[in-house]
Structure 1
Amino acid sequence: MTHNGSRFDGKTALITGGSSGMGLATAHRLIAEGARVVVTGRDKKRLDASVAQLGGQAHGIAGDATDLDDLDNLAAAVADRFGHLDLLFANAGIGSFQTIEQVTGELFDQVIGSNLKGAFFTIQKILPLLPDHASIVINASFGLHLGVPGSALYSASKAAVHNLTRALAAELAPRRIRVNAVSPGYIDTPAFRAELSEAARQGVAALSPAGRVGTATDVAAAVAFLASADAAFVNGHDLRVDGGLTAVGASALV
């Protein structure tokens, strides 16, 4: 993994949903560049294994980003151990794909809860721990930029996250707290492999001008850039990490 020296020396970061996939890769990246990283996840056993993999600069706190009591406990634990945070990657969320006829009220609440409520209240609860000039990055999705059949609920939840990013960039401007988002395309994560067959994975790779699906480290590099001083003049921005997929407007998305 290439990285940019010591951009995060002395910095403390929080990554929600950090026990696998893009969250875990971002934890590795920030630690490689000098940060201390707090990672969260609902599955304590998996979280503990990830923290052991990350090493001594990592600290795990189990909890559900959609549970406000868990978020209060998270904020209190971080305040007690570190005093403040410099970076927040609001990464926790779920993918859910079905036609509009298949969406139930329960599923609607689950997806909106995970993808919008979780991000919104994570930021609300953590905000008192962020000093002026801190950085927030939110995980959105390429789906908000395209009309993809079978993704109405998921894409709507991520479009809301996109507008949350812009509104908070304006709201937190007096404190010079930057708020940006990443919109990953098809990324090779455990969830991606569980949702798509090998044939389907090859199919979506062929749609990208890059000729491949992305990796979690591709996303981690983008998050690290947005969170760093290298992006000091980048605010309210959504960075598409999709290999050019949305730029070409592919119509055969699956």
Structure 2
Amino acid sequence: MAKYSGKKAVVTGGTHGIGMSVVKALLDGGAEVVLTGLNEKNIEAAREELGPGAHVVRSDASKLAEIEALGKTVADTLGEVDFVFVNVGYVRFGSLGQVTEETYDKMFDTNTKGAFFTAQCLAPLVRDGGSFVFTTSATTGTAFVGTSVGTAMKSAIRAFSKVMASELLPRGIRVNTVSPGFVLTPSMGLVEATEEHRALNMSEGERITPMRRFGTPEEVAAAVLFLGFDATFTTGVDLPVDGGLAQGMEYPHDEIAPH
């Protein structure tokens, strides 16, 4: 029997990158999945690529009416679900003097408010003993220049997920978060980035990540699914998948590296 045979899942932000890798692993394991996207090109590509076990829905996480519509779609399509991966992300870098009210509101509305109300809407549909996983970021607890708003919104998700973990204990529903570092996704975490920005991000990411490389979406997906299905005695935790970035590690100098 396939690993996820008979399981039902929801993946928001599932049409590309980490979300798509989670969706593909679930489908390969026999699960049925409702996944969301916002970019029409990505939505159509996902519909063409994925099999009949995937139900692709357009949904804007910054709008409560669309979150409520998603809940109805999930109820009508899947009924109860075993797993929810809340993964929608909208991030723009900007230093203190560069951040506008519009950017601030868009980031918090999509990421933080969207994540909270998605969980609120879908929690009644999660079977007792099911699980949530939220995407946060390796930047939480750090002070990278230009990431003040992004760090704040992801830190908020980490905070309310721990409270949700406590509140859902009576139903045996586990709530955890995964914190990716630099990952080779199509957007590389940058909204409307130029090729120059992407090249700089790649160079800097490899330089400051202790493992000296970017992670892959599949590596993050493996961590997400571990928390979602395998870590049955684990709730309220954050699992960094960042090559040591947020762990205070340093790549050893040649003179002290083991041989």
Matched, 1:234 2:234: yes
| Aligned equivalent of 1:168, options 164, 168, 180 | 164
Once the two structures are superposed, the pairs formed by residues 1-254 of structure 1 within 5 Å of their partners are 6-192=2-188, 195=193, 196-228=197-229, 230-248=230-248
Contact 1:146 1:249 in 2 (8 A): no
Contact 2:61 2:111 in 1 (8 A): no
C-alpha distance in structure 2 between counterparts of 1:190 and 1:34, whole Å: 26
Contact 2:62 2:106 in 1 (8 A): no
**TM superposition shift of 1:187:** 0.7
Question: Deviations 1:159-182 (Å, cap 9, x if unpaired)?
Answer: 000001111000111111000000
Question: Deviations 1:212-234 (Å, cap 9, x if unpaired)?
Answer: 01111111111110111x20011
C-alpha distance in structure 2 between counterparts of 1:249 and 1:102, whole Å: 31
Of residues 218-227 and 54-63 in structure 1, the stretch that sits farther from structure 2 once superposed is 54-63
Cα RMSD after superposing both structures: 1.6
Aligned length: 245
| CA separation of 1:103 and 1:249: change in aligned 2, threshold 3 A | farther
C-alpha distance in structure 2 between counterparts of 1:144 and 1:188, whole Å: 19
**TM superposition shift of 1:249:** 5.5
Counterpart secondary structure, 1:75: helix
Q: Which has the higher helix share?
A: 1
Instruction: Provide the residue aligned with 2:257 in structure 1.
Output: none
Aligned-partner residue type, residue 73 of structure 2: A
C-alpha distance in structure 1 between counterparts of 2:86 and 2:115, whole Å: 6
**TM superposition shift of 1:145:** 2.5
**TM superposition shift of 1:25:** 0.9
- Structure 1: runs of 5+ lacking an equivalent: none
| CA separation of 1:68 and 1:199: change in aligned 2, threshold 3 A | closer
| TM-score normalised to structure 2 length | 0.90
C-alpha distance in structure 2 between counterparts of 1:193 and 1:90, whole Å: 16
**TM superposition shift of 1:51:** 2.6
Aligned-partner residue type, residue 15 of structure 2: S
Of residues 185-194 and 17-26 in structure 1, the stretch that sits farther from structure 2 once superposed is 185-194
Give 1 or 2 for the bigger CA radius of gyration.
2
C-alpha distance in structure 2 between counterparts of 1:144 and 1:193, whole Å: 15
| TM-score normalised to structure 1 length | 0.92
**TM superposition shift of 1:100:** 1.2
- Structure 2: runs of 5+ lacking an equivalent: 251-259
Question: Deviations 1:127-160 (Å, cap 9, x if unpaired)?
Answer: 1111111110000000103111111111000000
**TM superposition shift of 1:199:** 4.2
C-alpha distance in structure 2 between counterparts of 1:114 and 1:121, whole Å: 10
Aligned-partner residue type, residue 67 of structure 2: L
C-alpha distance in structure 2 between counterparts of 1:151 and 1:136, whole Å: 26
**TM superposition shift of 1:238:** 0.5
**TM superposition shift of 1:7:** 2.9
C-alpha distance in structure 1 between counterparts of 2:144 and 2:170, whole Å: 37
C-alpha distance in structure 2 between counterparts of 1:44 and 1:200, whole Å: 26
Question: Deviations 1:63-117 (Å, cap 9, x if unpaired)?
Answer: 1111111111111111112211111000001122111111121111111111100
